[in-house]
Structure 1
Amino acid sequence: MAKIIPFKAVRPTRDKVSLIAARSYDSYTPQQREARLRDNPFSFLHIVNPGYKYDQVISGKERYTLVRNRYQEFKEDDIFKKDETASYYVYKIVNRDGLVFHGIIAAASAQDYEDDIIKKHEDTLKYKEEIFVEYLKTVGFNAEPVLITYPDNPELETIISKAISVRAEYEFTTTYRDTHYLWPILDTAIIDKISAIFDKMDTLYIADGHHRSSSSYLLAKTSKEENKNHKGTETYNYFMSYLIPESNLKIYEFNRLVKDLNGLKKEEFLIKLDAHFRIENRGLEYYKPSKKNHFSMYLDGNFYSLYLRKDYYKIENALDGLDTHILFKLILDPILGIKDLRSDKRIDYSHGKNDLAYVKTVVDRGDFKVGFGLVPVTTNEMKQIANEGLKMPPKSTYIEPKLRSGVTIYEF
């Protein structure tokens, strides 16, 4: 049974939350980061990039210590304050496309992660885990929740609907034109009811944040080993999560872009594709696939549709039927010679919100030789792969909502 608990969040004061909230550091261009750091002294980017204060690029343990120092300074200046009582936090986002997301920010159990009650669908990289564990041990907080999804639950929907019917504690719109709302749940009876509802759930699924969750689990494991008086109730046994119903997830595809044809001429490449795909030249028509096992390809000024020849491809498990895996097994690896999707510099990715116009643009200007478009992975596919203990290829899903760092902070 899933153990989801309330916690005492460290939060910005209401007047500064819109100034503090920040997207993930890597989502900004260098020019955008510079502008925000220069013009906004309250941005959470000042905490995660503490070297800006000294006009220095600082990394490793020294950076982690300075991150902790900047965070403590924000607390000392009363920019951040810790809630006096443990709460659940109902959080709603209305994004610039008009999509509405709602769920509950809470603390999820690291033991549930180990016991596979919280299931995963992506592989993690050991070196990234080790770096992030060292970071967490030094700074002592989570600032961005892991996105976890749960089966739609009418009782939780009723609780959330009632919570959002009154004025929010936070309501702010970002320069990205997303509007964020937060309501703390303070009523102990409702808190107990939320805990009991999650306790009846057999399985939760990580939607986004696999490295954050795996690193939090490793932190809990090492902290337990180092603490002779470990009781299991320590804050390091949990990590901050944003839990939303399955029907509320929005999953986009990640299109693939490849720099060359691995020494093949266009005609040779198309002949090799013909072994597993029915190919049709669509000319300048922006062909976007609409069903599984159909792919779009842009090559040499033309769009192509690629339909998998299912008689020649065996599907034995959930991963075999996943389009990103099919593309890797039949094209990227055997024909284009791309063995490692995480490290090969010849491949890049573009999430579906950029659309195929972006794929066409970067291929036409010579940045890439060929681009492939896919349909989005479904929530059921993601769950089935996790249930079978399998892992998707990297960059299989681009999932919304995307949360801001610094709105709620979990200390351990």
Structure 2
Amino acid sequence: MVKIKAFNALRPQNRFVEKVAALPYDVMNYEEAKSMAKGNPYSFLHVDRAEIDFNEVIDPYNAKVYEKAKDNLNNLINKNIFIKDDKPNIYIYRQIMNGRVQTGIVCCTAIDDYINGFIKKHEHTREDKEKDRIKHVDSCNANTGPIFLTYKKNIEINNIIDNETKNSPLYNFNTEDGITHIAWVIEKEEIIQKLTILFEKIDSLYIADGHHRAAAAVKVGIERRKENVNYKNEKFNYFLSVLYPDKELKIFDYNRVVKDLNGLTLEKLLNDISENFEIDKLDDKTPFKPSEKHTFGMYVENSWYKLKAKNGTFSDKDAVESLDVSILQNNLLSPVLGINEPRKDKRIDFVGGIRGLDGLVERVRTDMKIAFSLYPTTIDELMRIADEGKVMPPKSTWFEPKIRSGIFIHTLN
């Protein structure tokens, strides 16, 4: 069973929400974040990426950055940009991207469900990134970025959402990337209670995105329990989440670019690749986007190639090894190009499919030597791996649209 909880949202006043809402802190670098927030004092990046407010380039893990994040959040509250609802509610958050709709429930989920395995992971986390978000949550005394969770579609939950979204929205705005964001508030206690009961019948929630935020929120809660040994139902026992039904989500491809050919000539490269892949050189200069599993595009020396994994290079019985990201890593990136630790190797970079395959070509023409396009990982694959207690290789999934930060905040007291 899964526990969800209504909460008193700290949120922007309607007239400010469009300026406040920002992409998650971890999908852009420092320069991009600074550019996005330029000229907009309300942007939530001033909270989630407070290092952009220092004149000099500062270590993002410096204590001054976390203090600045706290000050910036308090400043938004003191200026009445943010208001806090006077009762616990559940909210609905809908995004529309290129005509595709995904609608989630904004609520709090229990750190005990994460600890006990009812909220399932599919990625490893890095200690430095966990520590960063732990300090951020502690300093701000709030979950500022929601965890992106999914669950297996439930008709009764969907019916409630359909009914509630017939009401007037709380927010309705468009962001600069053309995505529509609409939110509603569920205030009626009977509806909140009904949703709570329905989620108690669901076996598991799955982290789609936000593994580091989730781990940090849980560890903050555990530490605060140590300080409050008689804890019961305090806010630090829960963290901010948006729960989407699995059938509404789309995972984009997460492609790879590599800086060099590991000392190989093109002829030697193709020969080595041919051991595990069928290779077809494409005459058409149009970037090759795989339309089925176990096929890959490769762009090198101004030409596109189609690669197809040969039988015996993987086992469909193994949930992780049968992923296309694993097949490429185990049969090409590691043995041919020498990329043995993709999480750490500086020779490889990862490009989200939202940037398009032209983005891969551009990278090869500028700072990289070879690119690979992949077929996207599926939601079913993600859930299977999480159910088996396994983890995916790094950079296996790219979700769009991204949940905007700053629309809903869960304070811890």
TM-score range, shorter chain: over 0.9
Paired residue type of 2:70: R
Counterpart for residue 405 of structure 2: 405
Residues 272-283 of structure 1: matches in 2 within 5 Å?
272-283=272-283
Counterpart for residue 319 of structure 1: 320
Distance 2:253 2:36 in 1: 30
Residues 195-214 of structure 1: matches in 2 within 5 Å?
195-214=196-215
Over 3 Å counting, the alpha-carbon distance change for 1:34 and 1:354 in structure 2 is closer
Paired residue type of 2:320: L
Counterpart for residue 93 of structure 2: 91
Q: CA deviation at 1:286?
A: 3.1
What do residues 133-157 of structure 1 show as CA deviations (whole Å, max 9, x unaligned)? 1221121111221110011111111
What do residues 182-240 of structure 1 show as CA deviations (whole Å, max 9, x unaligned)? 11100000000000010000111111111111111111122212322222x11111110
Q: CA deviation at 1:24?
A: 2.6
On the 8 A contact 2:111/2:218 being kept in 1, the answer is yes
Counterpart for residue 335 of structure 1: 336
- 3-state DSSP class of the match of 1:212? helix
Counterpart for residue 372 of structure 2: 372
Q: In angstroms, what is the RMSD of aligned CA positions? A: 1.8
Counterpart for residue 192 of structure 1: 193
- For normalisation by structure 1, the TM-score amounts to 0.94
What do residues 32-85 of structure 1 show as CA deviations (whole Å, max 9, x unaligned)? 644554422222223335466563445422211221122112112211111111
On the 8 A contact 2:333/2:339 being kept in 1, the answer is yes
Distance 2:237 2:293 in 1: 40
- 3-state DSSP class of the match of 1:67? helix
Q: Which runs of 5+ in 2 are unaligned?
A: none
Counterpart for residue 64 of structure 1: 66
Q: CA deviation at 1:366?
A: 4.4
Residues 7-406 of structure 1: matches in 2 within 5 Å?
7-25=7-25, 27=27, 33-34=33-34, 37-50=37-50, 55-58=55-58, 59=60, 60-95=62-97, 97-231=98-232, 233-283=233-283, 284-363=285-364, 365-406=365-406
Q: CA deviation at 1:400?
A: 2.2
Distance 1:2 1:403 in 2: 22
- 3-state DSSP class of the match of 1:165? coil
Paired residue type of 1:102: T
Distance 1:251 1:220 in 2: 30
Paired residue type of 1:139: C
Paired residue type of 1:396: S
Distance 1:62 1:358 in 2: 36
Paired residue type of 1:48: D
Q: CA deviation at 1:26?
A: 5.0
Q: CA deviation at 1:405?
A: 1.3
On the 8 A contact 1:249/1:401 being kept in 2, the answer is no
- For normalisation by structure 2, the TM-score amounts to 0.94
- 3-state DSSP class of the match of 1:406? coil
On the 8 A contact 2:313/2:331 being kept in 1, the answer is no
Of the structure 1 ranges 302-311 and 30-39, higher mean CA displacement relative to structure 2 is found in 30-39
Paired residue type of 1:46: H
- 3-state DSSP class of the match of 1:162? helix
Of the structure 1 ranges 318-327 and 397-406, higher mean CA displacement relative to structure 2 is found in 397-406
Of the structure 1 ranges 209-218 and 52-61, higher mean CA displacement relative to structure 2 is found in 52-61
Over 3 Å counting, the alpha-carbon distance change for 1:108 and 1:41 in structure 2 is same
Distance 1:391 1:33 in 2: 29
What do residues 90-132 of structure 1 show as CA deviations (whole Å, max 9, x unaligned)? 111112x222111110001111111111111111112211222
Paired residue type of 1:262: N
On the 8 A contact 1:143/1:407 being kept in 2, the answer is no
Q: CA deviation at 1:300?
A: 1.3
Percent identity (aligned): 37
What do residues 275-321 of structure 1 show as CA deviations (whole Å, max 9, x unaligned)? 11111111335322111111111111211111111135444410010
What do residues 241-261 of structure 1 show as CA deviations (whole Å, max 9, x unaligned)? 010100011100111101111
Distance 1:124 1:224 in 2: 22
Of the structure 1 ranges 302-311 and 41-50, higher mean CA displacement relative to structure 2 is found in 41-50
Paired residue type of 2:13: T
Over 3 Å counting, the alpha-carbon distance change for 1:35 and 1:351 in structure 2 is closer
Paired residue type of 1:300: E
On the 8 A contact 2:44/2:405 being kept in 1, the answer is yes
Distance 1:285 1:41 in 2: 42
Of the structure 1 ranges 237-246 and 336-345, higher mean CA displacement relative to structure 2 is found in 336-345
On the 8 A contact 2:90/2:185 being kept in 1, the answer is yes
Distance 1:301 1:193 in 2: 58
- 3-state DSSP class of the match of 1:224? helix
Over 3 Å counting, the alpha-carbon distance change for 1:312 and 1:33 in structure 2 is closer
- 3-state DSSP class of the match of 2:341? coil
- 3-state DSSP class of the match of 1:167? coil
- 3-state DSSP class of the match of 1:15? helix
- 3-state DSSP class of the match of 2:73? helix
Distance 2:76 2:188 in 1: 29
Over 3 Å counting, the alpha-carbon distance change for 1:147 and 1:48 in structure 2 is closer
On the 8 A contact 1:61/1:135 being kept in 2, the answer is no
Distance 2:282 2:213 in 1: 42
On the 8 A contact 2:259/2:368 being kept in 1, the answer is yes
Over 3 Å counting, the alpha-carbon distance change for 1:150 and 1:313 in structure 2 is closer
Distance 1:204 1:112 in 2: 9
On the 8 A contact 2:254/2:351 being kept in 1, the answer is yes
- 3-state DSSP class of the match of 1:360? helix
Q: Which runs of 5+ in 1 are unaligned?
A: none
